[in-house]
Amino acid sequence: MDINNNNNKDLSEEILITLRKIARAMSIYSKSLDKHYGLTSPQLLILHELFQTDQIAIGEIARKISLSQATVTDIIDRLETKGLVLRTKNSLDRRQVLIKISPNGKNIVNKKPSLLQEEFLIEFNKLQKWEQHLLLSSVEKIASMMKTKSYLKNSVKTSLKNINFKKEKPSL
């Protein structure tokens, strides 16, 4: 067995464990946000995005925050139920629905709930600028290496291959 392959496997497993730690920390923080503000991290992220614009299409929100359009639609439904966003028809194209933050949604964003854990922000701000950029670059590289879009496309293709599209003749 090649020693280099074994070392790479160990490193990749360490990366996986570290990514799981990050995902767990984000999940715990999201639950904390839910407890204090009644919002999850993705809901707050969408409110922040809406706060910066007058109104925007769901697809554009999804693109900006790197979530699927279906996921964003579900989140918007929950935010609308809570009275934090409003849906309106595009005056130029009545088929398109635009999302706008409501006054209640603005009130929550104005309370300045952090999108990241305070402990992380404190430690991050202690770093030199070059270290902050290095961390950002590393995280961006990991995200690009994971190629989530291609996995999604392949899973849809695989799902479609498993569907029988042949019309059966009705039995009489």
Digits of tens for pLDDT over the chain (172 positions)?
Answer: 454 566 667 888 999 999 999 999 999 999 999 998 899 999 999 999 999 998 999 999 999 998 999 999 999 999 999 999 999 887 777 778 899 999 999 999 999 888 888 999 999 999 999 999 999 999 999 988 887 655 555 554 554 455 544 444 545 4
Q: Compute the residue count for the chain.
A: 172
Fold of 3-115: Arc Repressor Mutant, subunit A (1.10.10)
Q: d(Cα 105, Cα 123) in Å, to the nearest integer?
A: 29
> By C-alpha distance, which of 81, 49, 74, 80 is closest to 64?
49
- The pTM for the full model equals 0.72
Beta-carbon contacts of 147 under 8 Å, excluding residues fewer than 6 positions away, are none
